[in-house]
Structure 1
Amino acid sequence: MDSSQTYSYQRCSSPCLRTEPAGCQCDTLATRGRTSVDKFLRYDAARWTDLRNAFEQAVAEAGRIDLATSNAGVSEQYDYFSNKSDEWGKLLEPAFGVTDVNFRAVNSGGIVITSSATAHAPEHDLPVYGASKLATVELMRSLRSTFIMDDFTVNAVTPADTSKI
């Protein structure tokens, strides 16, 4: 599972976390009369400590995070019909790291969750991926009516592969 990502945050009236290509140079922009600085860091979205450290560093340097965009793009490779056992012959818990990454979120401001078109049109070779992406859409639907009371937004986008069109 390759879940290595980069992120940037802006120090301004509406900072955000978003994925960007590695090695980008920092740009300074004027936003609502304030200076905005993008800083890019690489992290592994499948590792909780990497995610926590990225958010802590962004808050420490920018003061707060108003918008986070979840866009890890972690897929799966798993044999769903094989039984794996430990040394005593007991069935092991399935390792679905894709669900761990696809449910990561922040607890304040706004969230944009990158789901997938497989949430609406499942693919037979990606059953857990499609199910976890549908779950992110349902999570967004469940949370939006609650979060609006605190002036907090949550949205989801569901991109698809357009390379064959």
Structure 2
Amino acid sequence: MPMLDKKIAIVTGASSGLGRAIALRYAEEGATVVVADIIEDPIEGGETTLSRILARGSSGAFIKTDISRWSEVDALITAAVDEFGRLDVMVNNAAIYTSTNLIETTAEQWHRVLSVNVTGYFHGCKRAVQQFLTQDPVGDTRGRIINISSQHGMVACPGDFPYGVSKGAIVQMTRQIAVDHAKDGIICNAVAPGKIITGKPGVANDPDALDYSRRRTPWPRLGEPRDVASAAAFLASDMATYMTGVNLMVDGGWMAG
């Protein structure tokens, strides 16, 4: 039986990158997947995430969502539950960055990054918990939240002050929700990717940065979206038992070195 058979999942930022990989893996594992993003076309090009989900015979939907707006997250989860009956897994993945240090970061950049990377995750977590509390448990679990954090929530993110601070906040948010809502049968974990090669443009694929990451990572290759998707699939499944408040590193041993 697939790992996520008959589960209903929402993945934010799922049109491209890590979110896309997670959504596609969930569909492969039997989940119905709601793709939430501000645009539907993938940065990498090619078919949309939903098109690929439907082409393989899985179920899903696309709902345009700006997670920095409570009204849109509220509408997202309401629409998903109206169409598919419940919510089992909420993946908060959508995020932005500025590539600016403290002095270079403007107030506008600061507020924008935190509005998506922290407030947006707050919106997703809060609205998901509200929904989970209305549902009967399946086994001992009402629902699962998976927040995509980063190794830069654990160590500094050189040259990107707002992003690093936001990812540190997500790690603490995950712990807080896990502790506060364990009694409700609600699970909250995070996945912390290391250096993952995606189609993201700009500094993420700068040759010097990639060379440093290869030298810094003990595993003999850099990460791929499928690595993060596998961790997210495990945490969404019934195999992940007695685990909550975990920040699961997917970094090729970077943080162990």
Post-superposition offset of 1:144: 1.2
Q: Which residue type is aligned with residue 137 of structure 1?
A: V
2:64 equivalent to 1:71: no
Structure 2: distance between partners of 1:42 and 1:93: 24
The answer for the alignment partner of 1:5 in structure 2 is none
The answer for the alignment partner of 1:39 in structure 2 is 61
Q: Which residue type is aligned with residue 97 of structure 1?
A: R
The answer for the alignment partner of 2:163 in structure 1 is 129
Post-superposition offset of 1:122: 1.2
2:114 equivalent to 1:99: yes
Post-superposition offset of 1:95: 4.8
Post-superposition offset of 1:123: 1.8
Name the CA shift for 1:125/1:82 in 2 (closer, same or farther; >3 Å): closer
Higher mean Cα deviation, 13-22 or 114-123?
Answer: 13-22
Structure 2: distance between partners of 1:117 and 1:68: 21
Q: Deviations over 1:97-124 (max 9, x none)?
A: 2212223223232210001111112123
2:8 equivalent to 1:15: yes
Structure 2: distance between partners of 1:49 and 1:145: 26
Q: Which residue type is aligned with residue 121 of structure 1?
A: V
Q: Normalised by the size of structure 1, how large is the TM-score?
A: 0.70
Aligned pair partner of 1:141 in 170, 175, 178: 175
RMSD, aligned α-carbons? 2.8
Contact 2:91 2:146 (C-alpha < 8 Å) held by counterparts: yes
The answer for the alignment partner of 2:188 in structure 1 is 154
Name the CA shift for 1:151/1:17 in 2 (closer, same or farther; >3 Å): same
Greater Cα radius of gyration, structure 1 or 2:
1
Structure 1: distance between partners of 2:110 and 2:153: 21
Higher mean Cα deviation, 142-151 or 100-109?
Answer: 100-109
Higher mean Cα deviation, 140-149 or 113-122?
Answer: 140-149
**Structure (1 or 2) with the greater strand fraction:** 1
Name the CA shift for 1:17/1:83 in 2 (closer, same or farther; >3 Å): closer
2:153 equivalent to 1:114: no
Structure 1: distance between partners of 2:68 and 2:150: 18
Structure 1: distance between partners of 2:110 and 2:105: 12
Post-superposition offset of 1:60: 1.1
**Structure (1 or 2) with the greater helix fraction:** 2
Post-superposition offset of 1:66: 1.7
Post-superposition offset of 1:68: 0.3
For residue 75 of structure 1, give the secondary structure of its aligned residue in structure 2.
coil
Aligned-residue sequence identity (percent) comes to 23
